[in-house]
Amino acid sequence: MAKANIAQPFNREVQYAAKRRAVIRAAAGAFRRRGYHNTSMVWIAKSLGLSKAALYYYVKSKEEILYECHIMVYDAMDEVVKSVRGKGANGLEKLKRLYGAFAALMTRDGLALLADVDSLKGAFQTEVLGRRGKIERAVTRIVEGGMKDGSIKKADPKITVFFFMGALNWLNVWYEPGGRLSGEIIAETFVTQMSDGIAS
């Protein structure tokens, strides 16, 4: 019980976890802007005021960092999916909430869908692809629901989903925090455009 009450800044495990997260986040930002292979461990280290060797105190390999980046995003997305359960009058309404929240994740929280899945090997890749599939299936299910309740016009669900999910992914490439276009405006426009594109 003693340890449990120590204030966070003086709790070593908490500090370690926080620093580890900082490493992941620093890397995630760099990966998003310049890609996985164009970002070196030295660069990540320097951006945190550390040496490369120190990084390996927090992570096992560069690949593990990339893996964690993906997991971070999918965790957040799972959370969003859970939060729209039961909400919304129909499939389309539910989807609008979901999509808006996804857009917010990208712009507000700096979380980006990474495309470098092929740089992951073995179990890492398998799990990330699994998580991606899970999200896709969840979104597809909502879309199918909307097609059934008549709020979304009938079409192949897969194409429908990948269309607007693709738009989201491309955000990584051109969105710059603090730029002319605020995250709110983007999210709003995206939701409208998505919604009008598929409403019946």
Partner DNA sequence: CCACTTATTGACTTTGCGGTCGAATTTGTT
Partner DNA sequence: AACAAATTCGACCGCAAAGTCAATAAGTGG
Give the binding site for a copy of itself (CB under 8 A).
33-38, 115-116, 118-119, 155-156, 158-160, 162-171, 173-174, 181, 185-186, 189-190, 192-199
Among 10, 118, 159, 196, binds DNA (CB under 7 A): 10
Check if the beta carbon of residue 97 is closer than 8 Å to that of residue 84: yes
Per the listing, tokens 């405006």 go with 185
Report, in Å, the least distance between residue 12 CB and a copy of itself: 37
Per the listing, tokens 């710059």 go with 176
CA proximity to 134, closest of 64, 75, 93: 75
- Establish if 51 lies at the interface with DNA (CB under 7 A): yes
Own/partner pairs, 155-158, CB within 8 angstroms, 24+ separation: 155/198
Report, in Å, the least distance between residue 115 CB and DNA: 17
3-state SS class at 51: coil
- Establish if 89 lies at the interface with DNA (CB under 7 A): no
Binding positions for DNA, rule: CB under 7 A: 10, 12, 15-16, 19, 39-42, 45, 49-54, 56-57, 60-63
